[in-house]
Amino acid sequence: MPKTKKKAQASSSESDSGPEDRNEPASKKAKESAAPKSLADKDSGGDEANIWTLEGLRQVRVSEFRGRKSVDIREYYEKNGKTLPGKKGISLSIKQWKELLKVAEEITSAVEN
C-alpha cells in the first residue's frame, strides 16, 4: 500500500525543528577502543611465570577463567605496546591437556616417520 505524503506545515515554534534536536549517536571508535583495552588488561595481568614462548609471538600460557585452569596455545600480536591474543590458537582444559600428553610420544613418532 503506497504511503501518502503529508504537506509540511510551516511553524513558528522552535521546538519542532527536526533532526538537529536529536543527540548524535556515540561513535563506534569509542566502543572499539574500549574493548581491546579491557582485553589487554585481563591478558597482561597474568603471571609471567606461566608463559612460554615457542617461536616469535606463538606462546603457551596457563590461565584461569571462572575458576577453571586451561592451557592456551595461541599466536599473539602487538598493538600499542601490548601483547594481545590472536584468533589463531586453541585453549585446552586440563583434562584435554593431560590426554594430549598421553599421546605425545605417538605423535612424535608419527612426525618423525
Every domain of the chain and the residues it spans: 29-112
Give this prediction's pTM: 0.54
pLDDT along the chain (113 residues), means of 10: 62 56 57 40 59 93 93 95 93 96 96 92
pLDDT at 48: 75
pLDDT for position 49? 82
- The correct CATH number of 29-112 out of 3.20.20.140, 3.40.50.360, 1.10.3720.10, 2.30.31.10 is 2.30.31.10
Residue 62: its H or E element: strand 58-65
Of 41, 91, 103, 39, nearest in space to 62 by CA: 91
Please report the pLDDT score of residue 22 as a whole number.
60
Q: Are 46 and 61 in contact (CB under 8 A)?
A: yes
Residue 54: what pLDDT? Answer: 93
